[in-house]
Structure formats: C-alpha cells, structure tokens
Homo-oligomer: A and B are copies of this chain.
C-alpha cells in the first residue's frame, strides 16, 4: 500500500475527472483526494497547488494527443476523421482544453504554438505540391478543420446541446465532416491549381 508512483498516478486520474467536470475554479481538492483514495496532503506533496495540478494534467494529455494524432497534410479529410474520433472517445480532454482556454490567463504554452507552426508549414508545402488547393491560407485551413472536427463535442455551445440527434449517428457525422473538409481543401484543385 506504499507506492509513490501509483499514488501520484491515482491523483492525476482523479484530478483529470474533477477538472474535466468542474473546471479549475469549480474543482475541489478534497474531492480529488477522496476520488484518488488518498489524503489531501499527498496532492500538495506531489504538486505545488491546484493550478499546477491542472496544468500538469493538461500538458500530459496534450502530449498524448500529439503522439496519437499524426498530422497528414496530404490527407486532411482523414486527419479530420481521426481528430473527430479522438474527440468523441476523449470528451474529458476536450473539456479540459475548453476550461483551459476560458480560465487560464496565460497564452498556450510555447510548445503548442510550435506544433501549430509546424502544421501550418506542412500545410503550405502540401499546397505548393498541389495536394491542397490554395483557396485558403494554411492557418485558416487548420483552424477550420479543427473547428469542424470538434464541433460536435459537448464543449461547443452550438454543438450537440442544440442538435442531440446528430451524435446518435457518429458514422454519418464522421463522413460528413470528412466530406466537408474535402470540399474545403480539394474542392476545386484542378480549376484553381495552375
């Protein structure tokens, strides 16, 4: 029953559930401790404070995303599909990101910005290679794709809360998203390309 690493993990898991559900301001440290099955003080031994705990968890899961979701500028509908699948199977992380963008004053950590820039650069290359049409700037495309792929998550005010039926047909939804991304990125490659 004495296992530092395991306790730390249980805290992280419990905190993930708590923060995802209630955000930073709404999260209760006592509740995290109870869920983790440990004493509250353990949380303050492993982490500085509530905010740090939140950031640690967000960072950890974001890293996981970057590993699980390779960006494929030559197959953007496929990328959107994978983002959609990920968002549907990881609603907690999507909520965590939503809380973060509302509650955390600081801009996104430098790492995220860098990764974003890499994608934009790759997208520009794909455009120059004729794989993606040049109708839109690469930065616009990336945000548009992410917006479409995550529009049906609970954190979107215009998402499933207004259109509850849509999430009951995830397959149709997935196909529609892929098709929409295709229209935006490959819609008129031939016409405009040269």
Nearest Cβ on chain B to A121's Cβ, whole angstroms: 13
| The stretch of A32-40, A46-54, A160-168 that contacts the partner chain | A160-168
CB distance from A100 to the nearest CB of B (A): 7
Q: Report B-chain residues with C-beta under 8 Å of the C-beta of A159.
A: 101, 143, 147
What residues of chain B lie closer than 8 Å to A183, measured between beta carbons? Answer: 135, 183-184, 187
Is the contact region of chain A dominated by helix, strand, or loop, or is it mixed? Answer: helix
Q: Is A107 an interface residue (CB 8 A)?
A: yes
Contact with B along A25-66 (1 / 0, CB 8 A): 110000000000000000000000000000000000000000
Q: Is A170 an interface residue (CB 8 A)?
A: no
Using known A-B contacts A137-B176, A166-B140, determine if residue A158 contacts B147 with beta carbons closer than 8 Å.
Answer: yes
Complex: how many Å from CA A172 to CA B141? 13
Tell me if A176 and B25 are in contact (CB < 8 A): no
8 pairs of residues in contact across A and B, judged by CB atoms under 8 Å: A25-B26, A26-B103, A101-B154, A102-B155, A135-B179, A143-B151, A143-B156, A150-B158
